[in-house]
Structure 1
């Protein structure tokens, strides 16, 4: 019997992560036994290779600023598991999480005993998804923003019926599950498109855009993309991004929007949130207010996304854990920090990522010293071999201990930046240690 929070977390993580057969049957059966809680709220469904968390956070804050009570389901977490289910940016309590597991565990056990087939037993993420749906059915909110775990078609969140869907972008990540071409990955992500509008963070004629456009046409739903907007980035200070936008729905070209999250990719994420907000205004879920829109964007922060942990010395963490994210990080550093005398980067990744390609991007940034390190890693997943990176890229430095390296290289100099980046699990470890 599960009686403590620690036992509840242990139970969740004790579930199998993968099954041989991708299917939504397991989650549908579990939710049916729970009374179909996925039918009890209004949802926005969000997928994409990168930017899901930031886009969700921007939209979350915009809607809150407009007076809505907003639930969210995100992954992975940065500091505590409970972050995955939150209301108005407040994670659920340990006691609530324990109660959810206590409600679900007997039903999962019943499924296992009745069917006596491990393939039909719910996975870890299916249990977490069921917890989320159950929580929001028992604690209704105005709207729930739901991030996909991986992909779309067979992701356990894909049982919901959304007001609208967002596909932030499509790039190479999780190829062992989603496929080894952009077209194959896009087909998986386009699986969240149902009988409601879809917003895509690319262009209709790019490789992924063609797949998404075909799916939207087949589903007879409107598709909105980044090319529906005219965007201008305005020169801004070191630690913010400022831009203007006009689109077919509303001319806001003379209005400035400022965000604290840095990078052109974060401007794109903010614009996706604006587009979603305008569609929700059309659907009369919320009323339009330019001032509240601007304020919601300006107040948005997201842990581990070019997050400044210290200004003196300048220490930043960023969970760029795949090649597209690393390209975005490189663009940011070369645009915002090109005049810096020294950029120190401490990098660690998981072995199933394209870690050599990521390291190559980092080593080519001007004035960079790259330190490749290690961390404990989640569960049984292996971390990248830093010796292999060193052999492939002799200019990198090896670091046995990231904390010692950080102390050695971080200088109280306004022209020196120290960045810790790579796996979100690594960033979580670093953030926990440096903020406590």
Structure 2
């Protein structure tokens, strides 16, 4: 038994040594030992390459505005480890984590000795989340984010009332496949027999895979882009404004509290999830609560403004599609500014292509590394760039120096982007 929080979390992190092991057998074994907590929560299960966290943030915000208690399970964390498991946006307490780990550790030790093998870090964290929401702090709804893929992700033992797929893009291809169809098939693995699915996927080949899977599972499949339309889209200083038309309602001048052209899609998907929950009698919500919930939503590290002079934004665009959305946002919000970028990435990401795309909107780029096993060196990132105004240093503290040097330029905007782990590092240095 662990006596304090830090021992418990160190033990969880020690399980990183067992890597990523897709599959559900170990999770089923653990859930059985814990009394199958995953069966007693009201879950909305969300998969997708990008947009999962933001969609969950919008959905949670609206549900809270309507008076419901909402648990969320998300990853990775940006501020603190504890935020992976949150209630109404507040991370669970250190003592609660300690109690969860002490509850689950004997079962993990037992599992280690079976032919199923050792549980991974993510499997243990997922098991803790199910146990928490079922046994410790019961909530009206749990918004459950997949960690990797869907079909074989640890969260896929859930028995949800509704599933959602936000987007399909090229990420984790070594595990999920090289084509959009293969990746879509893995994400579509969260679709359950007879459980409705709502998706914002727009590529025809990927959407077809999702629709076919839903048909095989007798699950209604609602496509955002087939059933909704967007008009009067324009950026605001703090987010996006647009008019959304769904099959049920029109929402003129809907405003998001999150910056990014892609947040219109994420907010709209959240509205569809809310409409479905209302239609099926799970919730009662007013139009005013939907507007206010979308406007009040916050999500750290997603085009988040963390400094005013000079303006500094953090955005965890960690794959090609994420970079594409970032560039769209820069062009919409900062077309008259000089954009200076600080970038870092993991070794297994297509960072050469990401850098080439960023150069199209960059006045300068500063490359750094950070303390993480899979972080690429700053020099290797630097040599991929063809921009004249470029620099590098492995020390992430140089990002703060880079920002300070731009403080006298009224036309400067600083964008810190790349790996979410990097974003977390810099955010903690700037805000604490």
Q: How far is 1:121 from its partner?
A: 2.0
Report the secondary structure of 1:188's partner residue. helix
Q: TM-score, normalised by structure 2?
A: 0.95
Unaligned regions of 5+ residues in structure 2, if any? none
Counterpart for residue 373 of structure 1: 368
Q: How far is 1:406 from its partner?
A: 2.2
Counterpart for residue 405 of structure 2: 408
The structure-2 alpha-carbon separation of the partners of 1:284 and 1:145, relative to structure 1 and needing over 3 Å to count, comes to: same
Residue deviations 1:369-405, cap 9 Å, x none?
Answer: 122222122xx32325533542552535122132222
Q: How far is 1:302 from its partner?
A: 0.6
Give, in whole Å, the separation in 1 of the partners of 2:106 and 2:389: 51
Q: Does 1:258 align with 2:255?
A: yes
Q: How far is 1:226 from its partner?
A: 2.1
Q: How far is 1:122 from its partner?
A: 1.3
Counterpart for residue 104 of structure 1: 104
Q: How far is 1:19 from its partner?
A: 6.2
Q: 308, 315, 319: which one pairs with 1:322?
A: 319
Report the secondary structure of 2:383's partner residue. helix
Counterpart for residue 362 of structure 1: 358
Report the secondary structure of 1:235's partner residue. strand
Counterpart for residue 239 of structure 1: 238
Q: 163, 166, 173: which one pairs with 1:165?
A: 163
Q: CA RMSD in A?
A: 1.6
Give, in whole Å, the separation in 2 of the partners of 1:29 and 1:39: 14
Alignment of 1:85-234 (within 5 A): 85-113=85-113, 115=114, 117=115, 119-138=116-135, 139-194=137-192, 195-203=194-202, 206-227=204-225, 228-234=227-233
Q: How far is 1:34 from its partner?
A: 0.7
Give, in whole Å, the separation in 2 of the partners of 1:21 and 1:12: 15
Counterpart for residue 424 of structure 1: 420
Residues 18 and 119 in structure 2, CA contact (< 8 A), matched pair in contact too: no
Q: How far is 1:239 from its partner?
A: 2.6
Residue deviations 1:109-135, cap 9 Å, x none?
Answer: 12224x2x4x52211111111100000
Q: How far is 1:21 from its partner?
A: 6.0
Counterpart for residue 328 of structure 2: 331
Residues 260 and 300 in structure 1, CA contact (< 8 A), matched pair in contact too: yes
The 10-residue stretch of structure 1 (318-327 or 205-214) with the greater mean CA deviation from structure 2: 205-214
Q: TM-score, normalised by structure 1?
A: 0.94
Give, in whole Å, the separation in 2 of the partners of 1:33 and 1:404: 51
Counterpart for residue 352 of structure 1: 348
Unaligned regions of 5+ residues in structure 1, if any? none
Q: How many equivalent pairs are there? A: 425
Q: Does 1:298 align with 2:298?
A: no
The structure-2 alpha-carbon separation of the partners of 1:20 and 1:88, relative to structure 1 and needing over 3 Å to count, comes to: closer
Q: Does 1:34 align with 2:20?
A: no
